Chains A and B, each alone.
Chain A
Amino acid sequence: MSNYPVAISGVGSYVPDQYIEISLTDRCPDLPMEYVIDIGFEKIHFADDNEFPVDMAISAARKAINRAKLSPSQIDIIIFSNFGVPEYYYWANYAKIHSELRAKKAQAFYLNQCHNSQLRAIEFGTNLICSNEHIQHILVISADSYRNVADRWQSFKGTFLSDGASACVLSRQKGKYTILGFKETNPESFSCVYNYPEEGLITALSEKKQLLTERALTVEGIFDPESCDIRFDGFFDQVRENVTALIEEAGLELSNIKRIITLNFNEKLCTQICKALKVKEDVISWTVGSEYGHIGPADILLNLDQILERRMVKKGDYIILLGTALDLSMMSCLVKC
């Protein structure tokens, strides 16, 4: 087990004030009640007309930097990641964040591994600090909005899409939330299921209007939209193998893990992960994630932020951050409080 000299020194999140309570089903389109219940969200948040991912990212980043007791000028690197719907087809959004934060000495770039982008950015940042003695603080940010480009109820089967952002600062230090290690698992590829078939270099100009459609976003063959089940039989075995390997490398057992923080996909999936790992359902972050909907990769640090704010962990506790990309690549990260 790598024992990195890196800790999460500050976490921040942002969700728009506006939300829809899922229990008010008249606000939802015609969806079977059983399907809505299986997804299990209490509410989803949505940005207003003048609020976009970069704006939300900056809000979350400022909180994380403040909580790390730093100023933006102390940040060495900014890694921005999201699910992938940008403000513009081509734009250096990471550079805009750099400019707005006035992180003058930082380098900024964008990273994408779909829903696993944020955990990948944390891993990237951790390795950068470990390998370069000149790097002290790295800011990891994720933000997404689906306004205009998706039907947040139906574009992505099995979940409801929400808007928001989250961030953390990684610092060269021990203590606070120390990163103990990462574990990756990569199954056979499911990459071909995920094109947005309009607007790009191949089909740049089309008569079809831009909207993330069911055709574009349904991960056919992996996810059963009727039952909210993952069709990929090996998925939960993969979760168990990944998490078990991570904690065994640290000389721990599953019973040592206080919280497992996952994406906010749906309640049924979280329940199945608990069963696969043989842990109680309150261990998983759905307890807080159900209040926010599925933002994308930002789910992970949003849930961590909420768990810390609600004092759901104490000093000495172990936390696992668990992310999955669209090709079902999986990454976990062990953190000690």
Chain B
Amino acid sequence: MNTVSIVSTGRYVPEFYELSEEAIEAEQLDPDRIHDLGTYKVHVDKQDEGYNMAVKAAQSAIAKAGITALDIDVLIISSGFGRKYLIHDDAAYLRYLIGAKKASAFRVEQGCNSAVVSLNYAFSRLKSDKRVHNILVISYEFFKKPLVNRWKSVESSILGDGASAAVIQKSTKGFNILGVYGVTDGYFCDIWRTDVGGLKHPFLGDNEADMTAFEYNIYKTAAEYLCNDKNKGMLQNVLVQNNKVVFDGLLEKLKMSYTDINKLVMYNVGIYVLKKVIKMVGIEEDKTSMYLSRQYGHIGNADILFNLDHMLDDGKFEDQDIVGLFSAGAGFSWGSVMLKYSA
């Protein structure tokens, strides 16, 4: 058998949530921006569950796959933003927490597109290595002040906390992975950067300037790198073009077209961004994950597996549906995955 499938998914969000309407006053937000984004609530890790969110999502996916943690051969961890510490082997730590004692564990990063990179690893490894049977992919995010302000740090979304996971096997059950594709354009990589907190400017914490610089603030860096119309235009072109390039590239390799896509699972950025993607694909909004962006906000790289799991629970998929996954990451990178659902 050479078919590789996402046989199960799992998700977790903390119980506590905050409403956008209430945050407008509390955080002194621009109401027009918040309304354009369309997200009315986000879940917040008030109880410092941290890594346990990832564990709960993983346990859900493992249980649904009908396996145990000991059956996992490889564990891939990703988070787009949220390092708990500057240096921490979180993959090995999660392996320990989950009890995947036989698994090798590592981490991948491509901003909020990291989960697509993880899926690509699972797909290629299972295709080419007959010794491997179960790969667990876990994505998690949590955002905390003062480093990240979930309402303000990113212009195009409101950030929520949570986690998602998937078990990938050589199987024809579930979501058969038809192909994975990715694109990177690093020209504007410096827009997404914290100036302090690494080799170049170690965080010393002993002056106000350091503390201010340590805060993750896209507006601050964007103001520097998008200071003229030429750069703004270039960035806009890069963003729009590569949304299409990453779909076109995969469809071409699979000898498919946009009309073949029955359902679309996207990352949960603002509604005005998602509508452009939906228009590009040419699919009805009710066949997409857009409603989940309103309910949960942007859980970073955890979005796409979270949404896939949620939509499955909501009965959104029909047998033999072709399901497109789309996300993008800071830096910038874009990713697409094409799935075929077997009920």
Q: Which residues of A contact B (CB under 8 A)?
A: 2, 4, 52-53, 77-78, 84-92, 94-100, 106-114, 116-117, 120, 124, 126-128, 130-132, 134, 145, 147-149, 184, 186, 188-192, 194-212, 216, 325-327, 329, 331
Cα separation A128 to B127 with both chains bound (whole Å): 9
Q: Which chain A residue shows the least CB distance to B193?
A: A91
Flag whether B333 is at the interface (Cβ < 8 A): yes
Asked if A191 and B189 sit within 8 Å, CB to CB, the answer is: no
CA distance A216 to B86 in the complex (A): 11
Which one of A128, A130, A207, A325 lies within 8 Å of B120 (CB-CB)? A128
List 9 other contacts, CB 8 Å, given A108-B110, A191-B89, A191-B93.
A96-B186, A109-B182, A110-B108, A113-B104, A127-B128, A131-B127, A184-B104, A191-B91, A200-B83
Q: Nearest chain B CB to A144's CB is how many angstroms away?
A: 9
Q: Check B109–A128 contact: CB distance below 8 A.
A: no
Of the listed stretches B6-14, B203-211, B260-268, chain A binds B203-211
A-B contact count (CB 8 A): 252
Chain B residues whose C-beta falls within 8 Å of the C-beta of A117 in the assembled complex? 106
Contact A109:B109 (CB < 8 A) given known A53-B199, A89-B214, A90-B192:
yes
Contacts of A98 in B (CB 8 A): 184-186
**B201, chain A: closest CB distance, angstroms:** 8
Asked whether B85 lies within 8 Å of A202 as measured between CB atoms, the reply is: yes
| Closest Cβ neighbor of A144 among chain B residues | B199
With both beta carbons as reference points, the residue of chain B lying nearest to A146 in the complex is identified as: B199
B89 in contact with A194 (CB, 8 Å): yes
Instruction: Check A112/B107 contact, CB under 8 A, given A87-B200, A92-B331.
Output: yes
Q: Let me know if A97 and B89 touch, CB within 8 A.
A: no
Residue numbers of B with Cβ under 8 A of A are 50, 81-89, 91-93, 95-96, 101-111, 114, 117, 120-121, 123-125, 127-130, 142-144, 146-148, 182-187, 189-190, 192-206, 211, 214, 216, 253, 329-333
| Nearest CB of B to A102, in Å | 10
Q: Which of A78, A92, A145, A329 contacts B330 (CB 8 A)?
A: A92
- Whole-angstrom CA separation of A168 from B128 in the bound complex: 21
Known contacts A92-B189, A201-B142, A325-B92, A212 near B196 by CB under 8 Å = no
Give complex CA distance A145, B147 in Å: 24
Which residues from chain B contact A186 at a C-beta distance below 8 Å?
Answer: 101-104
Give the contacting residue for B147; candidates A109, A131, A192, A204; CB below 8 A. Answer: A204
Cα A192 to Cα B15 with chains together (Å): 27
Is the Cβ of B105 less than 8 Å from the Cβ of A148? Answer: no
Q: When the two chains form their complex, are residues A131 and B124 in contact, meaning their CB atoms are under 8 A apart?
A: yes
Contact B121 A127 (CB under 8 A): yes
Residues of A with C-beta under 8 A to B127: 127, 130-131
Q: Which of B102, B114, B204 contacts A209 (CB 8 A)?
A: B204
Chain B residues with CB under 8 A of A188: 101
A86 to B196, CA, bound (A): 11
Query: Would you list the 8 A-B pairs with minimal beta carbon distance, nearest first?
Result: A92-B331, A89-B197, A99-B186, A191-B92, A95-B186, A95-B331, A113-B106, A131-B127
- Name the residue of chain B whose CB is nearest to the CB of A116: B106
Given the complex of chains A and B, what is the CA–CA distance between A209 and B196 in angstroms? 13
Instruction: Flag if B206 contacts A192 (CB, 8 Å).
Output: no
Shortest distance between the CB of B215 and any CB in chain A (Å): 9
A90–B82 alpha-carbon span in the complex (Å): 9
Asked whether A111 lies within 8 Å of B107 as measured between CB atoms, the reply is yes
Q: What residues on A are CB-neighbors of B86 within 8 Å?
A: 84-86, 89, 196, 198-200, 210
Give Cα distance in the complex from A43 to B316, angstroms. 62
Q: A91 contacts B142, CB within 8 Å?
A: no
Q: Are the C-beta atoms of A201 and B187 separated by less than 8 Å?
A: no
Asked, given contacts A124-B121, A186-B101, whether A85 binds B87 with beta carbons under 8 Å apart, the answer is yes
* Complex Cα spacing A96 to B184, Å: 10
CA distance A95 to B188 in the complex (A): 9
B85 contacts A109, C-beta separation under 8 Å: no
Chain A residue with the shortest CB-CB distance to B99: A189
- Chain B residues with CB under 8 Å of A325's CB are 89, 92, 104, 106
Q: Bound complex: CA of A184 vs CA of B142, how far in Å?
A: 31
Given A52, A189, A212, which contacts B200 in the complex, CB threshold below 8 Å? A52
Which of B87, B144, B197, B214 is close to A195, meaning CB atoms less than 8 Å apart?
Answer: B87
Whether B205 and A206, one on each chain, are in contact in the complex, defined by CB atoms closer than 8 angstroms, is: yes
Q: Which B residues touch A86, using CB under 8 A?
A: 86, 198-199
B259 shortest CB reach to chain A, Å: 22
A-B contact pairs, 20 of them (CB 8 A): A53-B199, A89-B196, A89-B197, A91-B192, A92-B332, A97-B186, A99-B185, A109-B108, A120-B104, A130-B128, A131-B128, A149-B198, A189-B96, A189-B101, A198-B85, A198-B203, A201-B142, A202-B50, A210-B197, A210-B203
Contacts of A203 in B (CB 8 A): 85
Q: How far is the CA of A134 from the CA of B183 in the complex (A)?
A: 14
B77 to A, closest residue via Cβ: A112
Tell me if B117 and A109 are in contact (CB < 8 A). yes
CA of A147 to CA of B182, assembled, Å: 34
Given A92-B189, A206-B205, the answer on whether A327 and B110 have CB atoms closer than 8 Å is no
Are A88 and B124 in contact, CB atoms less than 8 angstroms apart? no
A112 near B331 with CB under 8 A, answer no
Closest to A326 in B: B89
- A329 to B74: give the CA distance in the assembly, Å: 11
Which residue of B has the minimal Cβ distance to A88? Answer: B198
The one of B95, B123, B205 in contact with A207, judged by C-beta atoms closer than 8 angstroms, is: B205
